[in-house]
Amino acid sequence: MYYVDLLISGVAFGCLYAMATMGLTLVYGLLRILHIAHAALFTLGAFVGVWVFNASGSLIVGLIVAILAAVVMGCLIYRLIYESILSQPPYVPLLASLGVLIFLQDGFRIVFGEEGLTVRHNPFYMANFTIGAFSINVIYIVMAGGALISMAVLAFFANYSRHGIAWRATVSRPLLAANFGVNVIQVRYAAFAAGSALAAIAGVLVALMNNLVEPHSGELISYKGLAIIVLGGLGNMQGAFIASLVLGIAESFGIGLAGRYVDRDAIAAVALIATLMIFPNGIGRART
Amino acid sequence: MLELQDFSCGYGGTAAVESLNCTFAAGALTALLGPNGAGKTSTLMAVMGHVAPMGGRILFEGRDITNRPPVDRSKIGIAVVPEGRQLFGDLTVEENLIVGGYSLPVAAARAEQEQVYSLFPRLAERRAQISGSLSGGEQQMLAIGRALMAKPKLLLIDELSLGLMPKMVDVCIEALTRVRQNGLTIVLVEQNTSRALSIADHVYVLASGRCVMHGSSAEVKDNTEIFEAYVGIH
Amino acid sequence: MTGYHLSLISLTGIMIVFAVSLNMIMGLCGQVSLGHAAFYGVGAYVTAMMSAGGVPTLYALPVGMLIAGLMGLIVGFASLRVRDDFLAITTLAVGFLFVGVVRKSRALGGEFGISGIPESGLGPAGDAFLVAFCVVLTVALSVYLSRNWTGLAFRSISANEEAAQTLGINSAHYKLLAFCIGCALAGLAGGLYANYARFIVPGTFGFSLSITAAAMVVIGGIGSTAGVVAGAVLLTLFPEIFRFLGDYRMLVYGALLVGVMLFQPKGLAGIPSMVRRWAGPR
Ligand SMILES: Nc1ncnc2c1ncn2[C@@H]1O[C@H](COP(=O)(O)OP(=O)(O)OP(=O)(O)O)[C@@H](O)[C@H]1O
Ligand SMILES: [Mg+2]
């Protein structure tokens, strides 16, 4: 029973990680940038979503405004920060990205306050779904469902639409894709927009789970996001999804079994180090 | 069709090609020959917009395209079969073709795809296969097919026969002969000189970034001394 | 000079040792490390535990260095197996692992850390002198390494590993050496910090300290010892210099980091040549 509970929460967290960090995978695939500021878009989505939800009473409206805000901010980060430093060595965009993260997190603290925002009428608060002896938090179901649906939409787009195929071609060979009429810049904006939108949804879901969003909420995914894209094989979407699930489940069982000796982040770290020692190039297929 | 006027280009300030004057006539197959490092690939990639121009002009159908961004090339009618094929290796055969026809309207791209499949039935059989796992010959067919998907007026081919067995080269050349009947202009970079001379109308020979001789295939063949000095007959 | 100034100077010295030690791994050897705070933490905890157990600070410091250096050696072996981005993430994970383990360890004081670390007995001036001595030692070693043949080999690894290998330079050797020395010196800095603060908590040695060190190296100018010293001074005194910003310090810090990366990615070390370019004849 206990192990089933661990598995359920592990899968729910894994799905959430996948959704929250897909933007990192998309951006890394196209630009080879470790876009750590992505974590701030997760927090931005959560703040805007909760604020609008509290003010308007409609979760849907909150979600839509959150997505818009994150998409605009994500595209701005590309345009104002990354575009001019793409040809620099990788640590330059990485540190610039970190600067953006610090800046935005402190911005959230100043605007929304140290304590952050609490969800006023949380429909998922203490809500459980019971089948027989099992009782699952409804928010877990929503997290897993939301992640799976949004990932499925993204995968469908990438595999079956012309623009999605052109996008993957750009990841594979950007210069050549341009020669066939693919507008590489538009593809980049699309990647930032899609990744940021997913991060915003994930942010709102986590805020609903915790009933709260704080300026530092994004740290939950900032370094784990990097770990996930590395494990997933750098820019490989399926790989990242699998890595997210593995990480979620490993954390869940790790805390359940060894929580007295190490914390959540350290369990993820052990899983990460062990995996990299066995597969020095990540789990996912190494991209050519 | 394509004209290079006093054209130079290079990498990071060092010239790879200097003061090149070439004319590629409409409907003709022009061969670009020369030893390794002569600047053949650089010339083609400059036409595709990937090597920085350092002087002179590139004219396509009379229009100056020297500084147009790479993304315009397929719209104005230029396509490339790059050195080493450069397929989108994670994509399937069909997806590679779809990207090739990205600048066409959907219906036109579909029709073009059927044309490519009838030109290379082998590709039709393997349409769902990941292109990275094709054999060398199949990859070259796909690279040609992908370029043809854009319905180009001018096709640039870099190292058609590289790493292919003679029978595969025959298949590719036979396909090119067929598409030429529709008036396609071709620029062919080739290491297999005798093969190239047998199908080319006109020849340019490059060495160390400069044009050292040019003329019709027949003229070049007659002038064996100079020619062999630069490329040798295989 | 007030006690406050003296304490600020000591802290700055400690951060110089720490940043220069990271530069040996990042700058001279080209291996990005995002978990350097863990080795600083190892040095701090070893020194703190030993001092609390009655061992004089001057004996505890080298032991902390040794243990941090050995741990660096282990990570060095990892760096032979994984590289580039993967190594950066591995070191990041090492950082989280350290904090995670210390946080839950009753013996190391858990979340509350170790307080009441006894004084070294050298007095305020003696402590400041000790820090100054370590700064001079570290900087001299860094300059020596980057000038000398070892430094040459280090840098050829960071420029091009394969080329270095074909030249017969055993890059594995130098990577291990770089991690070992760099982490030992980080341990020294950590030990000095424990002696300086006399109270340590696990949170101090987390991701943000690792990033601060990396920022010092990069803002100073990766590979340049003088630049990194300047970077360490600037970022350590940042809260003092920008005291007038009050509550908005982190905001400005983030913006500054972005600004440097956008407009001066070679860091402070790039400024002299930039000035020369302006001042020189056109
Ligand atoms: N990406 C690049 N960066 C710098 N220099 C390059 C680059 N590509 C080619 N060069 C240089 O430009 C010159 C011309 O090279 P290019 O590849 O155009 O020759 P090529 O005629 O195609 O040779 P090959 O027959 O070997 O393919 C060479 O001196 C080469 O070293
Ligand atoms: Mg070539």
Which whole-number Å values give the CA distances from C130 to A28, C14, C259, in the listed order?
A: 45, 10, 36
Calculate how far, in angstroms, residue B188's C-alpha sits from the geometric centre of ligand 2.
11
Integer Cα distance of B160 and B122 in angstroms: 18
b/e burial code for range C239-268 (CB count within 10 A of at least 16 → b) = eeeeeeeeeebbbbbbbbbbebbbeebbbb
pLDDT in tens, A94-151: 889 989 998 999 999 999 998 999 998 888 877 777 777 777 888 888 989 999 998 8
In 3D space, the residue among B22, B16, B20 whose CA is nearest the CA of residue B203 turns out to be B22
Amino acid B234: pLDDT = 47
Integer Cα distance of A275 and A268 in angstroms: 11
Adjacent-strand bridge partners of B57: B5
Q: Give Cα A270 distance to the centre of its chain.
A: 21
Nearest chain C residue to A279 by CA distance is: C82
Amino acid A182: pLDDT = 95
Q: Which ligand is nearest to the CA of B83?
A: 2
Amino acid C186: pLDDT = 97
Nearest residue by C-alpha to atom 3 in ligand 1: B11
CB contact at 8 A, B206 and B43: yes
Give the long-range contacts of residues A138-145, CB within 8 A, separation 24 or more: A139/A205, A139/A208, A139/A209, A140/A8, A140/A9, A140/A12, A141/A12, A142/A205, A142/A208, A143/A12, A143/A13, A143/A15, A143/A16, A143/A205, A143/A209, A144/A11, A144/A12, A144/A15, A144/A16
Integer Cα distance of C58 and C74 in angstroms: 26
Question: Cβ neighbours of residue A208 under 8 Å, at least 6 residues apart?
Answer: A119, A122, A123, A124, A139, A142
The tokens for B113 are 């795809």
The tokens for B38 are 């002569």
Cβ of residue A179 closer than 8 Å to a chain B Cβ: yes
Task: Name the strand (E) or helix (H) holding B230.
Answer: helix B224-230
| Cβ pair A266:C247 closer than 8 A | no
In 3D space, the residue among C211, C230, C242, C236 whose CA is nearest the CA of residue C271 turns out to be C230
Integer Cα distance of B175 and B172 in angstroms: 5
Mean pLDDT of C264-269: 79
CB contact at 8 A, C205 and C98: yes
Amino acid A94: pLDDT = 84
Model confidence at A285: pLDDT above 60? no
Q: What is the assigned CATH class of domain A2-286?
A: mainly alpha
Position B113, amino acid: Q
- DSSP-based three-state secondary structure for A249: helix
CB contact at 8 A, A81 and A96: yes
Does the CA dihedral A14-A16-A19-A20 come out positive or negative?
negative
Burial class of residue C29, CB neighbours in 10 A (0-12, 13-18, 19+): buried
For the beta sheet containing B52-60, the strands, ordered from the edge strand earlier in sequence to the opposite edge, are B14-24, B2-11, B52-60, B63-64
| Cβ pair C214:A88 closer than 8 A | no
Amino acid C170: pLDDT = 61
Integer Cα distance of B75 and B102 in angstroms: 10
Amino acid C17: pLDDT = 97
Q: What dihedral do alpha carbons C101, C110, A98, C73 form, nearest 10°? A: -40
Mean pLDDT of B191-195: 86
Amino acid B138: pLDDT = 94
Q: Which residues from B are below 8 Å from A171, CB to CB?
A: 90
pLDDT in tens, C141-187: 999 888 875 556 566 666 666 666 555 556 677 788 889 999 999 99
Mean pLDDT of C184-198: 95
Q: What stretches of chain C adopt beta strand conformation (E)?
A: 114-115, 199-200
pLDDT in tens, B117-141: 999 999 999 999 999 999 999 999 9
C-contacting residues in A 206-245 (Cβ below 8 Å): 223, 226-227, 230, 234
Adjacent-strand bridge partners of B213: B205
Pocket-forming residues, ligand 1, beta carbon under 6 Å: B 11, 16, 34, 36-42
pLDDT in tens, A164-218: 999 999 999 999 999 999 999 999 999 999 999 999 999 999 999 989 999 988 8
Q: What is the DSSP letter of B134?
A: S
Interface test with B, best of A30, A159, A180 (most B CBs within 10 A): A180
b/e burial code for range B75-98 (CB count within 10 A of at least 16 → b) = eebbbbbbeebbbbbbbbbbbbbb
- DSSP-based three-state secondary structure for A36: coil
**Structure-model confidence comparison of residues C67 and C118, the more confident one:** C67
pTM of the model as a whole: 0.85
pLDDT in tens, C88-110: 888 989 999 999 899 988 888 88
Model confidence at B223: pLDDT above 70? yes
Q: Which residues from A are below 8 Å from C86, CB to CB?
A: 230, 276, 280-282
Integer Cα distance of B114 and B41 in angstroms: 30
Q: Which atom of ligand 1 is nearest to the CA of B40?
A: 21
Mean pLDDT of A6-26: 90
Integer Cα distance of C193 and C198 in angstroms: 8
Minimal C-alpha gap between A237 and chain B (Å): 12
Position A1, amino acid: M
Q: Which of C105, C259, C261 sits opposite A92 (nearest CB)?
A: C261
Q: Which atom of ligand 1 is nearest to the CA of B12?
A: 4
Chains that contact B by 3+ CB pairs under 8 Å?
A
Calculate how far, in angstroms, residue C115's C-alpha sits from the geometric centre of ligand 2.
68
| Cβ pair C258:A103 closer than 8 A | yes
Q: What dihedral do alpha carbons A40, A45, A47, A48 form, nearest 10°? A: 130
| Cβ pair A102:C99 closer than 8 A | no
Domain ranges of chain A: 2-286
Calculate how far, in angstroms, residue B37's C-alpha sits from the geometric centre of ligand 2.
7
Model confidence at C247: pLDDT above 50? yes
Model confidence at A80: pLDDT above 90? yes
Q: Which residues from B are below 8 Å from A182, CB to CB?
A: 71, 99, 102
Calculate how far, in angstroms, residue B1's C-alpha sits from the geometric centre of ligand 2.
22
| Cβ pair A91:C247 closer than 8 A | no
The tokens for B154 are 């001018």
| Cβ pair A178:B79 closer than 8 A | no
Instruction: Report ipTM (2 d.p.).
Output: 0.90
For strand B202-207 and strand B29-33, is the pairing parallel, antiparallel, or unpaired? parallel
Cβ of residue B102 closer than 8 Å to a chain A Cβ: yes
In 3D space, the residue among C251, C275, C280 whose CA is nearest the CA of residue C264 turns out to be C275
Nearest residue by C-alpha to atom 4 in ligand 1: B11
Calculate how far, in angstroms, residue B43's C-alpha sits from the geometric centre of ligand 1.
9
Integer Cα distance of A191 and A280 in angstroms: 27
